[in-house]
Amino acid sequence: KNEVEQSPQNLTAQEGEFITINCSYSVGISALHWLQQHPGGGIVSLFMLSSGKKKHGRLIATINIQEKHSSLHITASHPRDSAVYICAVNGETSGSRLTFGEGTQLTVNP
Partner 1 sequence: NAGVTQTPKFRILKIGQSMTLQCTQDMNHNYMYWYRQDPGMGLKLIYYSVGAGITDKGEVPNGYNVSRSTTEDFPLRLELAAPSQTSVYFCASRTSGTSFGANVLTFGAGSRLTVL
Residue 91 near residue 29, CB atoms below 8 Å: yes
Tell me how many residues contact partner 1 (CB under 8 A). Answer: 21
Least CB distance to partner 1 at residue 68 (A): 18
Least CB distance to partner 1 at residue 100 (A): 4
Query: How far apart (Å, rounded) are the C-alpha atoms in residues 37 and 100?
Result: 13
The enclosing H or E element of 107 equals strand 104-109
C-beta closer to partner 1: residue 33 or 70: 33
Q: How many Å separate Cα 105 from the centre of its chain?
A: 11
Query: How far apart (Å, rounded) are the C-alpha atoms in residues 37 and 85?
Result: 6
- Half-sphere exposure in the Cβ direction for 77 (13 Å, CA): 22
Counting contacts by CB under 8 A, is residue 45 touching partner 1?
A: yes
Counting contacts by CB under 8 A, is residue 24 touching partner 1?
A: no
Counting contacts by CB under 8 A, is residue 101 touching partner 1?
A: yes
Select from 27, 31, 60, 65 the one that contacts partner 1 (CB under 8 A).
31
Binding site for partner 1 (CB under 8 A): 2, 4, 31, 33, 35, 41-45, 48, 86, 88, 90, 96-98, 100-103
